[in-house]
Structure 1
């Protein structure tokens, strides 16, 4: 299991966080479908860029939620087996920044 997968697994143990992450990803999925439809219908550049921006923000928020949930779990139980260490979480956070 990769470090990123282990961190994602930690976030997915929290049912509330899992629901929030899934909702954000569904939102991004819908927005991406709107981008594709806009491109295929030859929509205005402004509309396409606005939708792309919305997709990007939705994905970023989902990623930050995964990391913040893992960080909370790491702080609550730093010795948890399969958990993430602070350096790994920092690296993941910076990969989204």
Structure 2
């Protein structure tokens, strides 16, 4: 199993995801309560954006902290770079 690296941005990412999780639970309650579809869709959009922003922050964190540039300034581990960017 690869070594897990912790970075200063990880707590902020976790906070974003916990907030999105709370919003998603609220959306489920809205559905159970029979709330209007436009209200539910608006909240689902907010959840989707929150998760997307957390994903983007995680990918940027990986690029900034886990990919070492070589002497020529190019990324040495291009496979790792390609692997992570497919999630953009």
TM-score (norm 1): 0.71
Aligned 8 A contact 1:28 1:58 in 2: yes
Give me the whole-angstrom Cα distance separating, in 2, the residues matched to 1:51 and 1:88.
31
Check if 1:54 corresponds to 2:23: no
In the alignment, structure 1 segments of 5+ residues that lack a partner are none
Of 64, 76, 96, the match for 2:56? 64
Check if 1:23 corresponds to 2:15: yes
Deviation of 1:52 after TM superposition, in Å, equals 0.5
Question: In terms of Rg, which structure is larger?
Answer: 2
My pick for the range that moved more, 17-26 or 84-93, is 84-93
Deviation of 1:64 after TM superposition, in Å, equals 0.8
Give me the whole-angstrom Cα distance separating, in 2, the residues matched to 1:34 and 1:51.
9
RMSD, matched Cα: 2.0
Deviation of 1:85 after TM superposition, in Å, equals 2.2
Moved over 4 A (4+): none
Aligned 8 A contact 1:21 1:66 in 2: yes
Structure with the bigger RCO (C-alpha within 8 Å, sep 6+) is 1
Larger relative helix fraction: 1
